[in-house]
Amino acid sequence: MRTNSHAVLFIVALLISVITLPTSAVAFGLNDTGITTCSDEDSNGLPCPVDGFPGQDAEYGRDAAAAAGTLVKIGGGDAGFDFTKLDANGNELPASATDHTCVRDNVTGLMWQAGQSDWTYTFDQTANYVSTVNNTGLCGFNDWRMPSVKELVSIVNYNSYDPAIDANYFPDSSSWFWSGSPYAGSSYYAWYVHFSDGGANYNDRDVGYHVRLVRAGQFFDTFDTFNDNHDGTVTQVNTELMWAKCSEGQTGTNCSGDADEMTWSEALTAANNSRLGGYDDWRLPSVKELQALVDYSTDWPAIDSSAFPNTPSSWFWSGSPDANYSGFAWCVVFYNGNANDYCRSSNYHVRLVRDVQPMNIAVRNNEWRITEIYIATLGYAPDNEGLQYWVNNLSGGTWTPTTVAQAFFDNESVQALYPADQGHDALIDALYHNIFNRAPDNAGKNYWLGELNAGRFTRDQMIIALIDGGWANANAATDMARFGNQVRVGLAFAAAQAERGIVYTDLSPAQQTHLRQIGADVLTTVTADNATVTAAIEQIAGLLERL
């Protein structure tokens, strides 16, 4: 499919940044730390990898993709962060704007108050501040709240110091900020984050700290959802992380024995050498991932003991060097969840982690993303001419996947499939079927109908949101494995057309219809089983011979 219509070239946020989405609609991810270089025993700022210190924070995740130039962002921000500035009415502003009022985090889905509170408040005074801000309708919303300690940590940039945050988006931040999380060990204390260095700790509630409010997104409230894989590993559902059930040195269903302690170098090496569960990509968690494992509602230990039995209430290494203090690295203590930096030659405990997401959004190239839109919207594999047309537009830098999806609706065939004057039910039903192979659940469908009918979001934004949300949702792993396999077949279908010199606009209308039908037929037998990909690709040549 190709159109010569001139779609409005505006960069709309992908709906991975949508506010208040229900779980059934889209899921969000963890922010990376901002660390982009590696370290040895006593030096920082080294190129990765470093001998004797393998698998550090900077070698994985969004920050690594940003450093490699492969990370696709919606907005801007340091390293792997992805922020969008908003004005007082909630409208998007360019990254160069200096008068923004709020910031949308396009990774976590949270919306933040850009500046800090004018005054400091005790922990118990923050409720009045929240009420005051909601009465003003900050950025057009009145559901602002205090962030949890995990949410507040999410915007820390551990590669920066004083402030440990992207000051272009969050000015005036070199200070202590209250979270909304009480301290489990005593009703007299609550958690704060110090944005000079990013450390998280607790203090007396009567102390005056600044406040930065947040709204939307409940992802951080459901971190502690675990599935025991019965092979020595546990999957943390909402973070798409697979953890070692036991601390290093412990064994068995109940993690019996004493947990080992080791230096930072030894810990990194142990992770690199581990083959737990048959996997060879274990690593030390980043400091944010390690804090995501903390259960701040309890202590001694501050972790789900049913998922991680016999966890020492002591310090655990992260793979994150302290980028501002040579010779130190970040640790988290599991008697309460405090995060601090300690000498890399110190001996601490180790819990390994690995990624389990089916497809990293950072490595989906333009051809892949356009093919996703074809299959999600139309239900068939792309014609090669149309695919290359959209890829060229996307590669030019002024288009985004959302712009492409919007331009699809300028095409008469798409308009005929989903007439705008007949409501949005057909489109929502088709997207759920094409992406997830099922009908939409009532909550998800009602949510999208409400958003579309109210004009808060557009159809093109919803398409990208459902696709990106599917990749980010561990609960949709099987559905997205099927969808990803269909994309692979779709790319092979386009490549086969190129090899045979098939140009869509050179075909007769009947041949064009037949090519679209072939594109649908070749996907029908594709499932999450990789063997079905091979079988489908083997059919393509014979199907194209019928043109």
C-beta atoms surrounding 403 within 10 Å: 20
What string of DSSP letters covers 219-255?
Answer: GGGG---EEE-SSSEEEEGGGTEEEESS-TT-BTTTT
- Cβ(100)–Cβ(87) below 8 Å: yes
pLDDT at residue number 44: 96
Q: What is the pLDDT of residues 437-482, one digit of tens each?
A: 999 989 889 989 988 888 878 888 889 888 887 886 666 778 888 9
Give the CA diameter of the chain.
78
Q: Which residues pair with 244 in a beta bridge?
A: 233
How far is it, in rounded angstroms, from Cα 387 to Cα 369?
10
Handedness of CA 297, 298, 304, 306 (dihedral sign): negative
Q: Where in the chain is the domain with CATH 3.10.100?
A: 246-355
- Cβ(278)–Cβ(387) below 8 Å: no
C-beta atoms surrounding 529 within 10 Å: 12
How far is it, in rounded angstroms, from Cα 527 to Cα 510?
29
Helices then strands, counting H and E runs in the chain, come out as 15, 15
pLDDT at residue number 23: 34
Q: What CATH number belongs to 246-355?
A: 3.10.100
How far is it, in rounded angstroms, from Cα 166 to Cα 160?
8
How far is it, in rounded angstroms, from Cα 508 to Cα 513?
9
- Per-residue HEC secondary structure of 111-165 comes to EEECCCCCCCECHHHHHHHHHHHHHHCHHHCCCCECCCHHHHHHCCCCCCCCCCC
pLDDT at residue number 472: 66
pLDDT at residue number 28: 54
C-beta atoms surrounding 441 within 10 Å: 15
* Residue (of 525, 445, 529) closest to 25 by Cα position: 445
Which stretches of the chain score pLDDT less than 70? 1-28, 217-224, 357-363, 397-398, 472-475
